[in-house]
Chain A
Amino acid sequence: MPDALLETRALNAFYGDFQALFDVSVTVAPGEVLAIIGANGAGKTTLMRSVAGLLTNAADMVAFKGRPIGSMRADQVAQLGIAMVPEGRQLFPSLSVEENLVIGGQVGRSGPWTLRAVYALFPVLEERRDMPPTTLSGGQQQMVAIGRALMANPEMLLFDEISLGLAPIVIKSIYDALPEIIREGTSAIIVEQDITKAIAVSDRVYCLQEGRIALESASADASRDAIARAYFGT
């Protein structure tokens, strides 16, 4: 893998004494969209937190553009161009909708995503710009969370459980917007419980099971049976 944008190399991640990931090696090429699937507790979110720097590991266990970032703090990782849409949205309740977006751009990376571009993508947010995010619907909050990550003009976007807790129609509209969100050149890792959705939007898929990679496949080639076996470990 000479040209991987992001890779984890035999990543072993721990919460205290508890080991959540075992020898997890994944690679993402520039422009590639990766899906990570797996049951609850399989280690998907741990993998996301390890990449984003919220969980620090040995330096060389995570590399971005060939540079070891495994032991960097999250704010340092963010400056390099990795942005995350966290599980459960996690907006800042004390900030208005617009402030939530602006703070996402605070890393100071220039690129196509500006406040104007985010409002063009999600016009409803412009109408609600001065409201606290707690007054928004779940789907609108997810738009703010996505917009906040985009404002950093990242090269690598991490989506952790984007459809969790949202109505099916809202999930559909967010997935419809994904191609525009993940523009050319931007890579993404999507963690998703909805396997059909994950396969449909991704180039390759990894399935985690109890902290280990149980399946790696091109999304187009992944059969339902193989995924089911990897998912449940049967």
Chain B
Amino acid sequence: MEWVNAIVQGVLLGGLYALFAAGLSLIFGVMRLVNIAHGDLIVLAAYLGLTTTIALGVHPLTSLMIAVPAMAAIGYVLQRGVLNRTLGDDILPPLLVTFGLSVIIQNGLLEIYTADSQKMNAGAIETASLEVTGGISLGVLPLIMFATAVAVIAGLQLVFYRTALGRAFRATSDNQDIAQLMGLNKAHVFGLAMALSLAVVGIAGVFLGIRTSFDPAIGPGRLIFGFEAVIIGGLGNLWGTLAGGIILGVSQNIGAQIHPGWQTLAGHLAFLFVLAVRPRGLFPRIEG
């Protein structure tokens, strides 16, 4: 029964990893940009949530109302002001610039918030749980997070395939020049894509800060989890990304069940296994 429990908890953890990964997947899909600062932006969002919680005295989940739009605005400005200038035929400049951004965010957070671990206190909801048959209980908070992850993925899917914005994303991803001929300003389209990506990061960051303790240095680790979820699921497939997150979460929890020190290792091993057997991921987007 312990094993079943480990798997169930792993599935719920996978939702959080899918949230880490969704924004990463989205901007890679639209503009072929690999955002090395993604993990640090998640941590930035966590601190934003923390500051909101303390300054306004609101519940951590309420801080989403501030953190999400703030992160989206940061995303748009960042894209228009900095990242658009790095995009071109060469893939190296955006990598270098986002790497630099990662260093800046980490040290900026260290300067403002110190290296002390922080955690947002969500109160009674943190310990609330639902008893399922046979000794398995599901935490209400992890359930909320998982449901949110599913809703976010479904929402992104809807935006991508059912709205004018999604059409603009796909067209610009297909052919930037011709998309411009359709009256789409790619600088603006990319700005909106990054805004959407960082809105998801806002949710992911606040959830991270409620679920575990965090400090300015944990960003790169979250980036790795996000990358692994994207690659396991297959590039360009959002539901695949959710599946990738779940596989990663379940692997980590099974590893931890065997030996507490093996949690992270087990996740990496699962990732390497998928990479070796299915290099394009489990559910790659079908290309014409």
Chain A residues with a Cβ under 8 A of chain B: 52-54, 73-76, 78-79, 83-84, 86, 90, 92-95, 99, 102-104, 106-108, 132, 134-135, 148, 152
Contact = CB atoms under 8 A, between A and B. Distances in A.
Contacts of B182: 75, 78, 103-104, 106-107, 148, 152
B15 to A, nearest CB: 27
Q: Which 7 A-B pairs have the closest CB atoms?
A: A107-B183, A74-B180, A78-B183, A94-B170, A134-B288, A92-B174, A75-B185
A18 B170 CA distance: 33
Contacts of B288: 93, 132, 134-135
A83 B171 contact: no
Contacts of B159: none
Nearest to A90: B178
Contacts of B168: 103, 106
Contact of B164 (A92, A106, A152): A106
B181 interface: yes
Given A78-B183, A93-B288, A103-B167, A86 B178 contact: yes
B178 A102 contact: no
Size class of B's contact patch?
10 to 19
Interface in B245-271: none
B84 interface: no
A75 B170 contact: no
B127 interface: no
A96 to B, nearest CB: 10
Contacts of A92: 170-171, 174-175, 178-179
Nearest to B287: A93
A74 B177 CA distance: 8
18 contacts: A54-B180, A54-B181, A74-B181, A75-B182, A78-B180, A78-B183, A92-B171, A93-B288, A94-B170, A94-B173, A95-B171, A103-B171, A103-B182, A106-B167, A106-B182, A106-B183, A132-B288, A152-B183
Nearest to A79: B183
Given A90-B178, A92-B174, A94-B173, 6 more contacts: A54-B177, A73-B185, A74-B180, A92-B179, A106-B164, A106-B184
Contacts of B167: 95, 99, 102-103, 106
Interface in B147-179: 164, 167-168, 170-171, 173-175, 177-179
Contacts of A78: 180-183
B184 A75 contact: yes
A152 to B, nearest CB: 7
B171 A84 contact: no
A84 B181 contact: yes
Nearest to B178: A90
Contacts of B186: 75
Nearest to A85: B181
Contacts of B185: 73, 75-76
A52 B164 CA distance: 23
B284 to A, nearest CB: 15
Contacts of A83: 181
Contacts of A84: 181
Contacts of B178: 86, 90, 92
A53 B181 CA distance: 8
Contacts of B175: 90, 92
Nearest to B187: A73
Contacts of A93: 174, 288
B171 A75 contact: no
Contact of B180 (A73, A95, A108, A135): A73
A75 B174 contact: no
Contact of A75 (B164, B173, B183): B183
B135 to A, nearest CB: 47
Contacts of B180: 53-54, 73-75, 78
Contacts of A102: 167
B285 to A, nearest CB: 9
A80 to B, nearest CB: 10
Contact of B181 (A86, A99, A134, A135): A86
Contacts of B171: 92, 94-95, 103
A76 B180 CA distance: 9
